Amino acid sequence: MKPYRKTLPLPRKSRVRAFHAGPDGFNYDLHFHPEHEIVLILEGRGDVHLGRSTIPFAPGDVVVLDEEVSHTFVTTPGTGDGRSMVLQFHEHALGTLDVGTVSPTRANGAACAIFDGAEVDQLAPLFKEACDTTTLDEDPSDALVSRALLYRALAVLSHMQPRTLVKETGDARSASDRELLNRILNFVNNRHHEAISLSDAATEAGMRPESLCRFLKRHTGLTFTEHLNETRLHHAAHEIVATERLILEIALDAGYQNLSYFNRRFKRRYGVTPQAWRRRHRRHAGAAALPASASV
């Protein structure tokens, strides 16, 4: 199974996202993302698959994943629903703190660290409050609370000894491939609102267009055009919920010059029209995650 790159809907101010996962279990495809992830297992037993490594998990475990680590959680049938609370954050959320010392994975030179013990009881209320606080359209006070809760959770973990450390995951992606992939994806993310093409991205990456297309497909499971559309729709979906701007204005800023085409693409991706998406998330203002991205 080849891992694919996942785009996570992190709030723009705090760069911290928390949510409840389940009750349908953890089972989903192997994927990776540029955010760090902390998962508190509430119910269900199974395995964390990390590239070629497999580590068991159980209720009360805390699984910490470094950025860009390919992973998926698979629940063993008959062990209960897969339920967890998940905290995801970008390194920018740490401000001037040294990620190498405050990240439980980096501090131990690992791709994944698993913790258990009595101290987990201190983490549960922090995760619950973070889940209750996180919203895509957070105000500055919510952003401060989210970051404060992240810092407190990291402080608790800093006093715990990991039960299991996974130093190497057997991920086939080399450091140079990850660097090149990030360069391409950052180019698309920063210029998605422009009329960029495969040739533009290839020039940025120093590759031939056909080589870049194969490289992107191999590492993300998407073609260049598919990834560009996914990025544009992701940004548009965030703006629709987080602002009062007109749908037409959001579509144009996302890189779509035709509103009818944007509406069709949006409905195909999220299952509802942009207007219905806004109404749904305004009714459930506490929901932190975009449905299609609510995986860990």
Averaged in consecutive runs of 10 residues, what is the pLDDT profile of the chain (296 residues)?
72 88 64 91 88 85 91 80 90 87 88 92 95 83 93 95 81 66 83 92 92 83 86 86 90 94 92 90 51 42
User: 166, 196, 213: which is the final residue of a domain?
Assistant: 166
Q: Are 107 and 162 contained in the same domain?
A: yes
Tokens of 43: 């119910």
CB 171 within 8 A of CB 178: no
Q: Are 193 and 157 contained in the same domain?
A: no
pLDDT of residue 219: 72
Report which secondary-structure segment, H or E, holds 29.
none
- Domain of 33, CATH number, reads 2.60.120.280
Q: Are 68 and 114 contained in the same domain?
A: yes
User: 166, 188, 207: which is the final residue of a domain?
Assistant: 166
pLDDT of residue 138: 78
Helices assigned H by DSSP within the chain: 99-102, 120-133, 140-158, 175-191, 198-205, 209-220, 224-242, 247-254, 259-270, 274-283
Q: How far apart are CA 46 and CA 48, in angstroms?
A: 7
pLDDT of residue 168: 67
Q: How far apart are CA 257 and CA 253, in angstroms?
A: 9
CB atoms within 10 A of CB 225: 12
- Name residue, tokens 């928390």: 18
Split into its structural domains, the chain has a count of 2
Radius of gyration of the chain (CA): 19
Specify the DSSP class assigned to residue 245.
Answer: -
Q: Are 156 and 241 contained in the same domain?
A: no
Q: How far apart are CA 17 and CA 37, in angstroms?
A: 10
Q: Are 150 and 47 contained in the same domain?
A: yes
Specify the DSSP class assigned to residue 159.
Answer: T
pLDDT of residue 26: 58
Q: Are 17 and 125 contained in the same domain?
A: yes
SS3 160: coil
Q: Could you give the dihedral angle defined by the CA atoms of residues 295, 26, 157 and 174, in that order, rounded to the nearest 10 degrees? A: -70
pLDDT of residue 202: 93
Tokens of 160: 């715990």
Domain assignment of residue 190, given as a range: 175-293
Which residues are CB-neighbours of 128 under 8 A, at least 6 positions away? 85
Q: Are 90 and 216 contained in the same domain?
A: no
Q: Are 62 and 21 contained in the same domain?
A: yes
Report which secondary-structure segment, H or E, holds 13.
none
Q: How far apart are CA 262 and CA 274, in angstroms?
A: 9
What type of residue is 80?
G
User: 141, 166, 191: which is the final residue of a domain?
Assistant: 166
